[in-house]
Chain A
Amino acid sequence: METALPQPTWLSRLNAVWAPPAVLDFWLSRLNPLWSWHQTRARVVERRLEAEGVTTLVLRPNRHFRGFRAGQHVNVGIEIDGVRYTRSYSASDMPRADGCIRITVKAVDGGKVGAYLQTVPVGRVLSLDQAFGELSVPDVSAPCLMLAAGSGITPMLALVNAQAEAGFPRPVRLAYWARTRAELVQAKSLRAIATRHPNFSVYFVLTGEAAQATDELQGRIESLHLDTLLPGDAKAHVLVCGPHGFVERAREVLADRDLSFQAEAFSPPPRLIDASDHGHVRVTLLQSGRTLDIARNKSLLEALEEQGVRPRHGCRMGICNTCSCGKSSGATRALHDRSVQHEPTQALRLCIHAAQSDLSLDL
């Protein structure tokens, strides 16, 4: 949520003495909740229903947001019942002149954030990170094939819009998998673009309904689809976005037919090894760039020490908070009550939590 600040000048240093960023932010956000000295935030300026359980939000970021490219995503932070949750969403439209970023959010079963964003009031201010992600249409004249499944459509929408803006300098074909027609997002506008631009075509692939229209196919991704999508022995630059399984299957199906292969998979749900505490998990230490396997049957602090890592620590009993460090992904288990925590956090106490799945720690 913090942007890299320019090298501090003596003036900004002096400024920080008068009013440290935390104090300044307090007053700035009193004037306007969007304003901040150093944090990227965004205001919801528009909300519209796209399809069943799918909503598009238009976000106007503050001046700290450094912009984005079509195909990138942003981390959006919201607060529910006093707790901040962060989720990653792809921009679902290319950058526009208004400087806003559009995200399209699906409510997933049991997902707090997706559900909250379906009804987030216009005017609400959310926290926002800088955009990231490498998905892009290669800047060559060879054709491009985009495969999207479910919410994987969002970065493709942005990329298609950006291509449309440029007049499709290369042939682009999009295949969009969904369970039912009702779940399709922006089908109408995609069809309209296809009508306007001979260099663009779109196919809707349904897995829970029969295909009817000429631009509809059905069934899970398989080689058969390639007869339509990549006829003959044509090759294309391939962009895939969807759940893990979809991306992996696409990789198999398209082997030998891709000029290049870019994929983005939704982060798989934390892999919960059985409820017992045997075995090892893989821990990535983000600051030191190390990856190691540690035991699950002891506190993270002990398990890391066993591997020669010496995190800062104090009481070793969960009261002094010295060992608390950030966790960006993975699940942990509290040793005193065996409760499992999936959410990323900025403060995980290593001495009273054990690894429950693979983890990324801020160490």
Chain B
Amino acid sequence: MPKINSRALSPEELNRFGEELDALRARTVATLGQRDADYIRRIMAGVRWLGLGGRVMLMAGAILGGTVLPALLWPLCILGTVLLGLSKILENMELGHNVMHGQYDWMGDPALHGQSYEWDIVGTSDNWRKTHNYSHHTWTNVRGMDDDIGYGLLRIFPEQRWKPFYLIQPAIAVVFAVLFEWGVALQDLRIGRWFAGKMSGRTLWKMATPVVKKIGKQVLKDYLLFPLLAGPFFLPVLLGNIVANVIRNIWTYVIIFCGHFTADAEVFPKESVRKESRGHWYLRQLRGSSNLTGGRLINLWSGNLSHQIEHHFYPDVPANRYAAMAVEVREICARYGQHYNTGSLPKQFGTVIWRILRHAFPSRPGPARPLVAAG
């Protein structure tokens, strides 16, 4: 692995760095218009058509396969499951996640309104807007402020204190991937605090009510209503829905873990964000995030989280612009002597797996890489 050499910036350099990135944002926002509106509506249409196709295939596979054409059972059900999984991935990532950031609020379309959009996953949009849009995006990779560092389950960075519990984290990480949407649903409830006696059962229940409602709706839809539509042939439909959700869970987990947990991603102490300047905030986002190479296909199916760096610089700019902005961002980073963390999905996720394995065992942080030059 090449040694990362991001140099510390002087306060003046940080200011200019921030100004250049702000200017790029202003240039981009000034050109938002019809093609961005068309793009996100095409995505929405893609979500709907894939979902419809998936559900119809599953239903057809189950009913036809169960009655007249047994040979169709597996092919149709597999195809249906994959389409449904793709629909959910596209909905969660390129549509839901980006819309909930308010990226398309400028359109004034109530169907694409960041504050009211509800996504197709057991977690509530409201909790996500809080844990993700606010905590994670503002305090990215700041220990004690960004709950997304290891999600309170995993030790990803040597800076996290080691406990014997982490020895089993490789297994936990796999289970977490399969059940990722449930992790997202429960994240903001902080059930750990209730176990530790720091939160009353009543408080927990109050916070849990909307979550339970959302879970109920999703379970009813995917695991009861749609399977029941197939009548006696409900089983393949039920299994297809379960597998589609799991496919989505694993994929989103992989993409999201590649965003901040790769080898070169850094974490920051709480002290570092006291009175943080705009330029410092940008630099911290850069150092704590990592991109994926792979072109348009990976951009689409990762919800443009393949441009995690650009997403963290500009969380409210339509994600379909990140690829174009990335060209300039790379150039700016290079001029300021900053490492631009990117790589293929296998390479980046490989380093994530290595972190999960390595830091299951006690480990010590390397030398600090300061953001701001002393003096």
Which residues of A are interface residues toward B (Cβ below 8 A)? 1-2, 14, 17-18, 20, 22-23, 25-27, 39, 77, 79, 81-86, 314-315, 317-322, 324-325, 336-337, 343, 345-347, 349
Contacts and interface: CB of A to CB of B under 8 A. Distances in A.
Interface stretch (B108-116, B165-173, B263-271, B295-303): B108-116
B113 A82 contact: no
Contacts of B105: 321, 324, 345-347
B102 interface: yes
Nearest to B136: A320
A26 to B, nearest CB: 5
Contacts of B118: 20, 22
B137 interface: yes
Given A317-B281, A321-B129, A347 B114 contact: yes
Nearest to B37: A82
Interface string B254-289: 000000000000000000000000100100000000
B33 A324 contact: no
B316 A321 contact: yes
A17 B221 contact: yes
Contact of A26 (B44, B114, B217): B44
B114 A321 contact: yes
A84 B105 CA distance: 10
B26 interface: yes
Contacts of A349: 102
B26 A337 contact: yes
Contacts of B106: 82-83, 347
Nearest to B45: A26
A318 B278 CA distance: 11
A320 B134 contact: yes
A84 B134 contact: no
24 contacts: A1-B110, A2-B110, A18-B221, A26-B44, A79-B37, A79-B109, A82-B32, A82-B36, A83-B33, A84-B107, A84-B109, A315-B137, A315-B138, A317-B281, A319-B316, A320-B137, A321-B105, A322-B129, A322-B134, A336-B26, A345-B105, A346-B110, A346-B115, A349-B102
A23 B101 CA distance: 20
B133 interface: yes
B34 interface: yes
Is chain B's binding surface mostly helix, strand, loop or mixed? helix
Given A23-B48, A82-B107, A322-B130, A17 B225 contact: yes
B48 A346 contact: no
Contact of A321 (B33, B36, B133): B133
Given A314-B138, A315-B138, A347 B281 contact: no
A336 B108 contact: no
Contacts of A319: 133, 137-138, 315-316
A248 to B, nearest CB: 32
A314 B132 CA distance: 11
B113 A346 contact: yes
B115 A321 contact: yes
Interface in B215-241: 217, 220-221, 225-226
* Interface-centre pick from B26, B118, B316 (highest chain A CB count, 10 A): B316
B33 A81 contact: yes
Given A320-B134, A322-B133, A337-B26, A27 B48 contact: yes
A86 B108 CA distance: 10
B113 A347 contact: yes
B79 to A, nearest CB: 21
A85 B109 CA distance: 10
A346 B130 contact: no
Nearest to A322: B134
Ranked nearest first, the 8 interchain pairs of A and B with the lowest CB-CB distance are A82-B37, A314-B134, A84-B108, A347-B105, A321-B102, A315-B138, A320-B134, A81-B33
Nearest to B226: A18
A306 B266 CA distance: 37
Contacts of B133: 314, 319-322
A17 B134 contact: no
Contacts of B138: 314-315, 317, 319-320
B33 A318 contact: no
B159 interface: no
Nearest to A21: B111
B134 A81 contact: no
* Interface-centre pick from A336, A337, A347 (highest chain B CB count, 10 A): A347
Given A81-B33, A324-B105, A318 B316 contact: yes
B22 interface: yes
B108 A345 contact: yes
Contacts of B33: 81-83
* Interface-centre pick from A79, A318, A321, A345 (highest chain B CB count, 10 A): A321
Nearest to A25: B111
B251 to A, nearest CB: 22
A110 B22 CA distance: 30
A346 B316 contact: no
A236 B66 CA distance: 80
A211 to B, nearest CB: 45
A83 B220 CA distance: 36
A238 to B, nearest CB: 37
Contacts of A86: 108
Contacts of A27: 48
Given A81-B33, A318-B316, A347-B106, 17 more contacts: A2-B110, A14-B225, A17-B217, A22-B118, A27-B48, A82-B106, A84-B107, A317-B138, A319-B138, A320-B129, A321-B115, A321-B129, A321-B316, A322-B130, A324-B105, A337-B26, A346-B110
Contacts of A26: 44-45, 48, 111
A224 to B, nearest CB: 47
Given A319-B138, A336-B22, A324 B36 contact: no
Contacts of B22: 336
A141 to B, nearest CB: 46
A343 B107 CA distance: 12
Contacts of B107: 79, 82-84
Nearest to A23: B48
B211 to A, nearest CB: 16
